[in-house]
Chains A and B, each alone.
Chain A
Amino acid sequence: MAQRTLRGTGATPRSGVGTVVWYGRDISLPDPDGAVDPDAETERFVDAVGTARAELEAEREATAERVGESEAAVFDAHIQFLEDPTIEDAVETSIADGLDAANAVDDAFGEHIEQFEGMDGRMAERADDLRDVRDRLLRLLTDGERVDLSDLPEGSVVLAERLTPSDTAQLDPERVAGFATVTGGRTSHAAIFARSLALPAVVGVGEELESVEEGTEVVVDGDEGTLLIEPSDDEREAAAADSGATVVADAVETADGREIEVAANVGRPEELEPAADRGADGVGLYRTEFLFLDRETPPSEDEQYEAVREALDTFPEGRVVVRTLDIGGDKRIPYLDLPEEENPFLGERGIRRSLDPDSDLFATQLRALLRAAADGAGDLAVMFPLVATVEELDAALAALDDALADLEDRGVDAERPEVGVMIETPSAVFMADELAARVDFLSIGTNDLTQYVMAADRENERVGDLHDPTHPGVLRAIHRTVEAAHAADAWVGMCGEMAGDPDLTELLVGLGLDELSMSAVTIPDVKAAVRETEYSTASELADAARFAATRSAVHDALTQ
């Protein structure tokens, strides 16, 4: 297929070049020269067609009900392609000649896909339909084995419908040159993951992405938000040479002397060193979920202790803010056997789950943290996610006191770290003065705060415009939080994606944030932006932005 460009949303201001590996198509064809039993292969083919037909009928019904009859009609066409006599004849002939069912299907469809691709407009779209039907059959015929994300060839560009947190947890950043997804926006998990590893990524490309074939060479341009299929030599070289902004290792202050801590959001131990290399003063958000994912049993206290120690020893002069376990929502952990919830983002997640009296997960984690605080080189801070009430905070603080007393009783070295609350719910914003009076700091999680203030799902592109922290409603929530923290002599940080946007640094400094924590990739850009900022003008800008009535008025203020 010829050179072309697909557009999506850039997740990382980086480019990379590599070879397409599809994840989630679940297909790897057997050796076509392998010996097969034609009767058995024919039976497998017939069974697969039957199963595929049942799947398509079910999807047709569901779509007709949810979306509408005319949208469901595409499944009728798929059923007809599935049972097309031309395909059936070709497959049965190939099998009789000794080919296995999967390769026979691949060949039979391949010929017609090519034929339709050569035509224009509506005809070319039929190639996508045929691909869909082919992949459905091949998934069934190859037992649906997925590509192993932890064992990809070097220089792979992963393409997928979407990548879940457990998918990205398996990706080896050394081997992956970038990725692109059909769905997702700037704050989707896949995008955040890409930024934390400075991995080139484009999300929300749309269904057009599915037309990119396995093995194609592509450039992922996370700055422009484009995917170049079969790039020219110049484009390929430019992408391969991209290495980003200059690292600033020192702590930074504004031009008029206000210190701003610039820290990294980290989700896995492998990200600690790269964060330090990119000039992070410390860690402003250490997500501890990685300790719990992809395993059969919960991690022990010692294992958690070691992981936090490692982080503290990576930043001996800095501070590491650890968020206690934030499961629930969309992060599933099989061995915890958590109940299915109708609406997990409004369910038992974050601190709500940790305070479950039937579970000792929280107490174990707190003991590990208190021990690491005593032994680690850097300064530990601990914060609780998704707090909505003072009662929750009081219960969490009591659990911390209990864990400390428990360790001291046993003569184990332990130290009480700084303690903070994440501000992610509208209730926490309204109660920020009461919360701040009880802790050392507040940290504003703008991804969830925006989601809950605007009532807009962060993974749903249809409400992507609402999921924007520069809406005045969100800015006023941030302002109110900062005022409440400072009135209670607490420091206040921000650890959402907003903090990592250098175009918003002046606004955030002006709003009074003391710390900004972000995916490591943009730390140099934000440090440079802090140095260029005058606090006095920044606070005028912040006032103008928060008094604006509309998002466009906010943007006007920001660009003046």
Chain B
Amino acid sequence: MSHERVVTIVPEAGLHARPASAFVQAVNDHDADVSAGPPDGDLVQAASMIAVTSLGAGQGDDLKLVAEGPDAEAVLDELERILTTPEEELDA
């Protein structure tokens, strides 16, 4: 069964640069297949930096996350944390 969540992007840079790196890293660190995209549009492979970057998601945009696999809930928690943490506090 797949898990879904919609998160509003907080970092000023949007889903770019460091937030994007942290996002893709988190996906790859978990045992789950994750897709991401606009709530009403096509989803892309969240483990692909190219795909995630080309979403062009900016600050204030909503992002839909869909996860499947043993770590599905855990990865969604982590991704939500990344997407709602201002960039300068992202070192944790």
Binding site for B on A (CB under 8 A): 69-70, 73, 76-77, 80-81, 84-87, 112, 115-116, 119, 122-123, 126, 130
Contact A123–B17 (Cβ < 8 Å): no
Distance of B29 from chain A, by nearest CB (Å): 12
Chain B residue with minimal CB distance to A70?
Answer: B18
- A86-B45, A123-B56 are contacts. A73–B50 as well, Cβ < 8 Å? no
**A122 partner residues in chain B, CB cutoff 8 A:** 13, 16-17
| Interface presence of B48 (CB below 8 A) | yes
Contact A84–B18 (Cβ < 8 Å): no
Distance of B30 from chain A, by nearest CB (Å): 15
The secondary structure that dominates the A interface is helix
Contact of A85 among B13, B18, B48 (CB under 8 A): B48
**Which of the candidate stretches B20-28, B61-69, B76-84 sits at the interface with the other chain?**
B20-28
Contact A77–B20 (Cβ < 8 Å): yes
Given contacts A70-B18, A80-B24, 18 further A-B contacts (CB under 8 A): A73-B17, A73-B21, A76-B18, A76-B21, A77-B21, A80-B49, A81-B49, A81-B50, A84-B48, A84-B51, A85-B48, A86-B50, A86-B51, A112-B50, A116-B53, A119-B54, A122-B13, A126-B53
**A70 partner residues in chain B, CB cutoff 8 A:** 18
What are 22 residue pairs bridging A and B, where the CB atoms are less than 8 Å apart in the complex?
A69-B91, A73-B17, A77-B17, A80-B21, A80-B24, A80-B49, A81-B49, A81-B50, A84-B48, A84-B51, A86-B45, A86-B50, A86-B51, A112-B54, A115-B54, A116-B53, A116-B54, A119-B56, A122-B13, A122-B16, A122-B17, A130-B50
| Interface presence of B32 (CB below 8 A) | no
Distance A126 CA – B16 CA, assembled complex (angstroms): 9
| Interface presence of B75 (CB below 8 A) | no
Distance A138 CA – B53 CA, assembled complex (angstroms): 23
Distance A280 CA – B58 CA, assembled complex (angstroms): 62
**B51 partner residues in chain A, CB cutoff 8 A:** 84, 86
Distance of A110 from chain B, by nearest CB (Å): 12
Number of B positions contacting A (CB below 8 A): 18
Distance A81 CA – B51 CA, assembled complex (angstroms): 10
**A76 partner residues in chain B, CB cutoff 8 A:** 18, 21, 25
Distance A77 CA – B56 CA, assembled complex (angstroms): 15
Contact A84–B56 (Cβ < 8 Å): no
A-B contact count (CB 8 A): 45
Distance of B21 from chain A, by nearest CB (Å): 4
Chain B residue with minimal CB distance to A116?
Answer: B54
Distance A115 CA – B53 CA, assembled complex (angstroms): 11
**A130 partner residues in chain B, CB cutoff 8 A:** 50
Contact A73–B56 (Cβ < 8 Å): no
**B91 partner residues in chain A, CB cutoff 8 A:** 69
Distance A130 CA – B51 CA, assembled complex (angstroms): 13
Distance A76 CA – B45 CA, assembled complex (angstroms): 18
Distance of A519 from chain B, by nearest CB (Å): 43
Chain A residue with minimal CB distance to B44?
Answer: A86
**A73 partner residues in chain B, CB cutoff 8 A:** 17-18, 21
Distance A123 CA – B47 CA, assembled complex (angstroms): 18
Task: State the 8 A-B residue pairs at the shortest beta-carbon distance, nearest first.
Answer: A80-B49, A76-B21, A86-B48, A80-B24, A73-B18, A77-B21, A84-B48, A84-B50
Chain A residue with minimal CB distance to B21?
Answer: A76
Distance A84 CA – B24 CA, assembled complex (angstroms): 10
Distance A81 CA – B24 CA, assembled complex (angstroms): 10
Distance A87 CA – B51 CA, assembled complex (angstroms): 10
Distance A81 CA – B17 CA, assembled complex (angstroms): 12
Distance A81 CA – B47 CA, assembled complex (angstroms): 10
Distance of B50 from chain A, by nearest CB (Å): 5
Distance A81 CA – B13 CA, assembled complex (angstroms): 18
For B17, B20, B53, B56, the residue with the greatest tally of chain A CB atoms inside 10 Å of its CB is B53
Contact B21–A87 (Cβ < 8 Å): no
Distance A70 CA – B13 CA, assembled complex (angstroms): 13
